[in-house]
Amino acid sequence: MTTNKVIGYLPDERPPFFELILFALQQIVVMFPATVLVALITGFHVSTTIFASGLATLGFILVTGKKIPLYYGSSFSYIAAIASIMSAEAYANYTLNEKISIAQFGIIMSGLVSIVAGIIINKSGKKVIDKVLPPTVTGSIAIIIGLSLSANALGNASAIPQNISEVSQEVATNCAWIIAIITLLATILYSVYLKGKLSQLPILFGLFTGYIAALIIGAITGIPFVNFNTIESSSIISLPIFTFPKPSWAAVVAIMPIAIATVPESTAHIYQLDIYVNDLAKKKGSKKKYDLENKLGLNLIGDGIGDIISALIGGPAGTNYGENISAMAISKNFSVPVLIAASIITMIISCFTPLINIVYSIPTAVIGGLSIYLFGVIAAQGITIMMDKQVDMFSSKNLAVIAVILIIGLGGSFNFEGGMIPMFGTQFPALATAAVVGILLNLLLSIGEKESSVIE
């Protein structure tokens, strides 16, 4: 009788060097689009944002004692707040770097909020965390994070190169869809049917397949889906532009409060990770218990340190990435050394123009094909949280909390520009509002409750 060997790497396991590099590249591929997009939207320097992402990840991993396999990247939650500073009339005559410096100060202060939240959670204990952030909240948050990104995924899948004539736009759009579909189907087929070591690289293989398809389709149609000259520079080495924080109360008021709303998101991420890591450990026959669930406080402290490190050199605010968790869940690779390698390679890429151009040459349609899968997996992980915690879906309280979070989060994301809900003379970010309302509603409905509706 033969038994199938379980393939995968746990947080404290290190793959062989060549595999480690390939796994690291795969992690870079999934974090790159969102990280760069935040920089483009907010006006921050792209190369600095990329460098800050790698450096902040290293800081996070060291602060958390190399026990939590998460990658730090730019957060969409902060976009509106940072953009409000960058576009404020009061700073209309400021240079770009001066505006970034002002925003940096608010980001540093938001990092302090995450650190304080982490310390409070560490002192409160698991019972309090479970009461404030039950799986009905964290699972629902994970679902809306994934589904709220669905528009981005399909938008990328249908994206065409710039400066395409109107006559060619329809053809280009159809070709983009073909590239995205090839990428998506290839990635799914690789993840389902590849065996052994190769089963851990479906995203990278899917990317290569889509890239080759884009090159072939581009050669046939003459549409430049692959462009190697996104950044034109005579110099091979191009160091990031580092800026330094400038104290500003306006930045503190605009940016600092957003950190409170990201706590449920980080909670959902750490719960997802705990489920998948311990499932792999069980399948590999490991007797070690990876108690990631109880490291929520440490995770938030690491997140805050990441914000401070990023902001000190001119990077935007961030968080640990659901996309990278999806990649780890798909590839069954949770190795912390892989993430360390990914962060170092990311920092190197940011300093070399040819390397940045290679990454930028990946067609947006290919990214779209990958994103359909990755963002969907993020949403599916929310369902996994609720299944693992055996949430009672017949409980009126649980249904109310889940329903309100889903509708506010998704309705706000899709119905209002930038996902900002206009209410009471101001605007509230949809995801953060859904999280806060869900937490408060759950606490309100829990008053006088004697028995939990979650079966442990």
Distances (CA, A) of 278 to 8, 357, 388: 12, 38, 12
Alpha helices in 64-201, H assignment, sequence order: 79-86, 96-124, 126-132, 135-148, 150-157, 166-193
CA–CA gap between residue 210 and residue 212 (Å, rounded)? 5
Report DSSP letters for 210-277, one per residue: HHHHHHHHHHHH------S-SS--S-SB-----------HHHHHHHTTHHHHTHHHHHHHHHHHHHHH
Residues 413, 420: contact at Cβ < 8 Å? no
pTM over 0.85: no
pLDDT score for 321: 80
pLDDT score for 2: 45
pLDDT score for 1: 41
pLDDT score for 430: 81
Domain ranges for the chain, please list them: 17-445
Ranges of residues in the chain with a pLDDT under 50 are 1-2, 452-456
pLDDT score for 87: 77
Helix axes 322-331, 17-42, angle to 10 degrees: 160
Question: pLDDT tens digits for 23-65?
Answer: 999 999 888 877 887 887 677 888 899 999 999 999 999 999 9
pLDDT score for 434: 87
